[in-house]
Structure 1
Amino acid sequence: MLVVGVIGLQGTGKSTIMSLLSANTPEEDQRSYVFRAQTQEIKERGGNQSTGIDFFITQERVIFLDTQPILSPFILDHVINNDRKLPPEYNLPHTYVEMQSLQIAAFLFTVCHVVIVVQDWFTDINLYRFLQTAEMLKPSTPSGSHDSTGSSSSDDGAEYYPHIVFLQNKSRREDFCPRNFKDMHMVVDKLMAHSHLKYKGTLSMLDCNIVPGLTQEYLDAEVNMFLLPVQENDGEDNLNKAGAGTYPLFSLLPGYRGHPTFSTMVSKLRSQMLAMPRCQLSHTILTEKNWFHYAARIWDGVKKSSALSEYSRLLC
């Protein structure tokens, strides 16, 4: 099986992308998606649709985990304005929201083969600080035996870290320019240079033959990065109307985008995602049922983590 999780800031399109990777197509009504996207009413209120962690299992034995937004201003506003009683270990609302986000990220880093980091602009330096903090606070991989002080951990190999994919959603035409594409890879490579997360070598836009004329030699270091353009429903109609109004002949021609269509890009991303390595998450082989029990045990460990508690005290 393959376990794919997602994290990202509010409104970046996490639920939509996870639905398209798992069971839906761009042509379907978004109201029928397995992971519900933001409704217009929620967008106008500045709210978030997903709460906690939702999961969906496909026939290809892929488990998709959709999560609530990290560092959400709406969740913080809800905590402050509704006088929600904080757990005793948290003194301030913003500390509670940040620690909740770190718990989710640390959990995904332990139970997923692949974690997708969704951004809708390039790039927020605070997001990389958050990823490094979550990596630091990630619980250690449980040993094969129940004896936590035994020597099995050191015998069975190094600590487990997932593959991480940086997904640039709602990309503009200039983002697909080879020079900008190269610069984005260089920035992510520099920011993640000291991370143990597997951020290079397992997902490639160049292997999809999406960017014509580009070879592997063009990129000094190709990180796991994929670009998705704005969906055609949002931009194509405006482009065609503008062209038809000025030059009627343009209405007979397909609009020039400067990149493949959204549907094509999603299809390529899904193919690459299903081909990601399915390595062992723990020191024992897990079935779907065993993974669920394993994930529940990890979540309990995250909630009781002394490292997270100590970090929470430092924030105060």
Structure 2
Amino acid sequence: MAGPEPSPSPKILLAKPGLVTGAPLTGKFTRGGATEDDSTRLRSRLPSVASLNLLSDSWDFHFDRFLPFLTENTDFTVIGVIGSPGVGKSTIMNELYGFDSTSPGMLPPFTIQSEENRAMARHCSIGIEPRISSERIILLDTQPVFSASVLSEMMRPDGSSTISVLSRESLSAELAHELMGIQLAVFLASVCHILLVVSEGVDDDSMWHLMSTVDLLKHDISDPSLLASSLSHNSSSGHDNNNKVPECEYMATPVFVHTKLQDQELTSKNCLKLKKALMQYFKPSSFVRENTGNKPSEENHLDSDTLNLFTIPFKKKEENPRAQHESYISALWKLRDQILAMKSPSFRRPVSEREWLKNSAKIWEQVKNSPTIFEYYKTLQHSGMYRS
């Protein structure tokens, strides 16, 4: 006898109820649709959905805001993204979500940077912005790292930081900004199944340096499935039991994506050089391990025991059908298909979506109170690179 019908999964609205009507968030995947500027103009007339953010602009974790949208389902995938301003993080996340941009009244789940924001050097993502697709894929878009606009917003006239990055420490804005990127990357590597590391062009290795730092600093962060399911009362007392060196470490699978490549950079020879350089750079790291995904294609992957690398061409108004490399749209489609087909690493034990979120709040406290990151901060502070 068949069991009772499962209750439908909760949906997340892209705007407050009543403003976008008759538009459920289905996660249906279709190609084409409205332009980036169209969606940006429409979104600008609607209230912000920043109240849903897991990580706010004050650098505090608010798990209770997202919790009602999660279930006790244990079959889910968490995909995070990190990168510099304007590299296309939100565009990639919208593609992974399966956003149907042709549906009237629908906005993309993640805001895409407008031409005006780009010209004014402003960012449009704050903290960590979560969405969940109908396939129970939890997507975590993030504010840009190495962002001048983020730095300017958090800097007081005297150069100090308005954001408390480390407990009980008063930092300069420049040093706090540096640590924010590290904390964000360590957190994503600790709670995601797959972490997209997005860079612009073939010469930008700043994200490689950041992930190398993550590999050095992450070792005292727990596997999120090994934490107690209930949240601790308060972490303000400093290093508590949750900050002990974990018995089992966990690391998300990094996927390196280089966007906005010009035609001359997309030759097979250049792409092979980039793949070899990536592998050589991370050869000593813990990221180099057996790839558990499907057998990679020759064109856009490394070998099965190396790191994942994708290249995305520069977006042009008109694609040349006779171009010798794949188009921008085709590259995005391939990225989505292969990312969603990957067998991501598993946590030590099964957890539900809701338990994962509650434990992620604990992981965030571990990151902010990490003794390893604190020692790294002390090293930076005494290096003379940042104002005191």
TM-score using structure 1 length: 0.79
Q: Name the residue aligned to 1:179.
A: 269
SS of the equivalent of 2:155 reads: helix
- Residues 203, 224 of structure 1: 8 Å contact kept: no
Q: Name the residue aligned to 2:324.
A: 258
2:352 to 253, 262, 287: 287
SS of the equivalent of 1:49 reads: coil
Q: Name the residue aligned to 1:192.
A: 282
User: What is the CA distance between 1:255 and its match in structure 2?
Assistant: 4.4
* Structure 1 range deviating more: 264-273 or 194-203: 194-203
Distance in 2 between residues matched to 1:278 and 1:51, nearest whole Å? 26
Equivalent residue runs for 1:1-316 within 5 Å: 1-24=76-99, 32-80=107-155, 85=162, 87=164, 89-138=169-218, 139-141=221-223, 144=226, 153=247, 159-198=249-288, 201=291, 207=297, 211=299, 223-233=307-317, 236=319, 255-281=321-347, 283-316=348-381
User: What is the CA distance between 1:170 and its match in structure 2?
Assistant: 1.4
SS of the equivalent of 1:131 reads: helix
User: What is the CA distance between 1:191 and its match in structure 2?
Assistant: 0.6
User: What is the CA distance between 1:90 and its match in structure 2?
Assistant: 3.7
Could you list the per-position Cα deviations for residues 165-197 of structure 1 after superposition, in whole angstroms to 9, with x for gaps in the alignment? 111111222333111111111100011111102
Higher helix proportion (structure 1 or 2) = 1
Extract unaligned runs of 5+ from structure 1: 237-253
- Residues 227, 359 of structure 2: 8 Å contact kept: no
Distance 1:202 1:266, change over 3 A: farther
Percent of residue pairs identical: 28
- Residues 171, 230 of structure 1: 8 Å contact kept: yes
- Look up the equivalent residue of 1:38 and give its one-letter code: Q
Distance in 1 between residues matched to 2:276 and 2:151, nearest whole Å? 34
Could you list the per-position Cα deviations for residues 147-180 of structure 1 after superposition, in whole angstroms to 9, with x for gaps in the alignment? 8799993xxxx53222111111112223331111
Distance in 1 between residues matched to 2:244 and 2:117, nearest whole Å? 50
SS of the equivalent of 2:187 reads: helix
Distance in 2 between residues matched to 1:311 and 1:151, nearest whole Å? 17
SS of the equivalent of 2:273 reads: helix
- Look up the equivalent residue of 2:148 and give its one-letter code: P
- Look up the equivalent residue of 1:291 and give its one-letter code: W
Distance in 2 between residues matched to 1:220 and 1:179, nearest whole Å? 20
- Residues 199, 207 of structure 2: 8 Å contact kept: no
- Aligned pair count reads 287
Distance 1:162 1:198, change over 3 A: farther
Distance in 2 between residues matched to 1:108 and 1:119, nearest whole Å? 16
* Structure 1 range deviating more: 42-51 or 172-181: 172-181
Distance 1:226 1:149, change over 3 A: closer
- Residues 258, 310 of structure 2: 8 Å contact kept: yes
Could you list the per-position Cα deviations for residues 199-244 of structure 1 after superposition, in whole angstroms to 9, with x for gaps in the alignment? 763568962x7x4xx998xx798631111122242x54xxxxxxxx
Extract unaligned runs of 5+ from structure 2: 1-75, 229-240, 382-388
- Residues 145, 152 of structure 1: 8 Å contact kept: no
- Residues 5, 65 of structure 1: 8 Å contact kept: yes
Distance in 2 between residues matched to 1:313 and 1:96, nearest whole Å? 12
Could you list the per-position Cα deviations for residues 21-73 of structure 1 after superposition, in whole angstroms to 9, with x for gaps in the alignment? 113257789x9211101122211211111110011111112111101111212
- Look up the equivalent residue of 1:258 and give its one-letter code: Q
TM-score using structure 2 length: 0.66
Could you list the per-position Cα deviations for residues 99-158 of structure 1 after superposition, in whole angstroms to 9, with x for gaps in the alignment? 1111110001100111111111113333322211122222233684768799993xxxx5
